[in-house]
Amino acid sequence: MVFLANFMAQLTFIASIFVLILSHSVISGVQATTFTVVNKCDYVVWPGILTNAGVPPLPTTGFTLQRGETKTIAAPTSWGGRFWGRTHCSQDSTGKFSCLTGDCGSGKFECSGNGATPPATLAEFTLDGAGGLDFFDVSLVDGYNVPMLVVPQGGTGPNCTYTGCAVDLNDSCPSDLRVMSADGGDGVACKSACEAFRQPQYCCNGAYATPDTCKPSSYSKIFKTACPLAYSYAYDDKTSTFTCANADYTITFCPSPNTR
C-alpha cells in the first residue's frame, strides 16, 4: 500500500509538471503569423508564393483573387519567402495557365516551387530572424508589375511600419523598360535596368558586386523617387528593410495611390 501511495504521488507530481509546462508554452509560445492578402485592383490578380529553401512551405503557392477579395494564410514559425501578383492571366484550350506578368511557369494556378518571371513587384519576408524580429521589404529590383503595400498589424519595434509601392509605374515607365500588353496598347509592367540591358553596373555583379562599386542608376532612381520605401537596386538596404516583432501582415494589391 505504501508503494502504491508513493507511486500515485509521483504520478500526480509528474502530471502537474506536464500541465504547468504545457500551459506555459501556450501562454509564452510563438504564435503563428498570418498574411492577409487583399485585392483592391479593378482587375483580377493571381498571387504567387515562393518559400525559401529549407523552410516549411505555406499551404498554397498560388491562387486567384477576384476584385475586392481577401484571403488569409497562416505561416509556420520562421517562414521565409516572397509574394507577388500575376496579372493578365488566362488558360488555353488545353487548360494550361499563363500570365503576361509575374508568370511562374507552372502552367497552373499553383506555382509549385517556381518563382516569378521578371518584371514583378515582390514582397519579401523572413519571420523570426535575428533578435526574434521579422524582416520584410517590397522590392523593385526585379522590376515592377502591380502596386503593392505591406502593412504590419499589431507589431512592435522602432522600424515597424508599412512599406511598398502604391504608385502605378506602368504608364510612367521609360520606353526602353516598358512591357506592353498583348495588343501593344498599354504598359503592363516595367523592367529593371538589369533585366532590360544585362549589364554588370545595373545588375550589381562582376566588378560591380559590392556596395562601393554598384551605385543607384538613373533608372533605379526613377523607381526610388516614385516609391521611396521600396528596394530600388541591389544595395538599397538602409532605406528599404523593415523589422517587426509579433506582427501579422496585410499585403494589398493596388492600395490607395496616396500611400507612399
CA angle 231, 247, 162 (to 5 degrees): 35
Closest CA to 88 of 139, 129, 134, 41: 41
Please give the domain boundaries of the chain with CATH numbers for all domains: 33-253 (2.60.110.10)
Q: Which of 124, 152, 146, 144 is nearest to 241 (CA)?
A: 124
Residue 62 CB neighbours (<10 A)? 20
Mean local confidence (pLDDT), 144-152: 98
State how far the alpha carbon of 65 is from the alpha carbons of 21, 43, 48, 81, 95, in Å: 42, 9, 11, 19, 19
pLDDT of residue 28: 37
Name the least confident of 133-142, 205-214, 251-260. 251-260
Q: Tens digit of pLDDT for each residue in 11-66?
A: 444 444 333 333 333 333 456 899 999 999 999 999 999 999 999 999 999 999 99
Q: Which residue has the cell 494564410?
A: 73
Q: How many CB atoms lie within 10 A of CB 21?
A: 10
pLDDT for 179: 96
C-alpha–C-alpha distance, residues 39 and 14, integer Å: 51
Which ranges constitute the DSSP H helices of 104-145?
A: none
- Please tell me the pTM assigned to this model: 0.87
User: Judging by DSSP bridges, how do beta strands 248-253 and 33-39 pair with one another?
Assistant: parallel
- State how far the Cα of 245 lies from the Cα of 239, in Å rounded to an integer: 19
